Structure formats: C-alpha cells, structure tokens
Amino acid sequence: MEFIRFDLGAILRKEHGDRTLRILRLVIGNPLIMKQMVEHVPDAGSHAPVTILIDERSDAVHLSYDTRGSILAPYGSSIASNIAKNLDEKIKALLEATAK
C-alpha cells in the first residue's frame, strides 16, 4: 500500500532546472505487518511504514531500502526480528520484480 510519495527531484529542479535527474521517495507498507512488529517492539512504529528511494543517476536507476531486520535487531525481540526479516524478503522480491 502506498501511503505517500515525495518527488525529491522536483525540489532540486527548482534550483537546477530540468537537467536534474529524477528522485522519488515512496512510503509504503502493510498495516497488518506493522501491527505485528509494534505488538512486540513498540519502537518499530518509528520505522514503519517503510521508505523506498528510486533515483535516476547517469549510469542507471537505483533502488534503495533500509532493511527492517537490521533496524529491529538491537531490540532483542526474536518475534519482531522474524517478522521484519520476512518483510525484508517481500520488499526485496518487490524491488527485484520492479527492476526487471
């Protein structure tokens, strides 16, 4: 589910004009997965929904995503970490399918 998108490139184009490459930040997620993580680690709410950055560079289009598993690991909840790792796998599959 897409919650919001930010056209970061539009901000840069105001200063640099149309020669600026495109950059888009998508805030996406599944509220049910977020709920499962927050039940075990309330701080997970500050890391959900997730952000995907799509940026155009001179060599190619790049996709970036900060994994939830690495963010939640320090909290010590194996349940939340497993949910986060599963989410990471889903996001990775989505990004790989999108990149084809």
Separation CA 3–CA 44 (nearest Å): 17
Separation CA 33–CA 49 (nearest Å): 9
CB proximity list for 74: less than 8 A, separation 6 or greater: none
Identify the domain containing residue 82 by its residue range.
Answer: 2-99
Q: Are the C-beta atoms of residues 10 and 20 closer than 8 Å to each other?
A: no
pLDDT at 7: 93
Task: Note the pLDDT tens digit of each residue in 15-68.
Answer: 887 777 889 999 998 889 989 989 999 988 888 888 999 998 889 999 998 888
pLDDT at 24: 93
Joined together, the tokens standing for residue 84 give 């986060």
pLDDT at 70: 87
pLDDT at 6: 95
pLDDT at 92: 92
Separation CA 3–CA 59 (nearest Å): 29
Give the total number of structural domains in the chain. Answer: 1
Helices (H) and strands (E) in the chain, counts: 4, 4
Q: What is the CATH number of the domain that holds 13?
A: 3.30.310.70
pLDDT at 69: 87
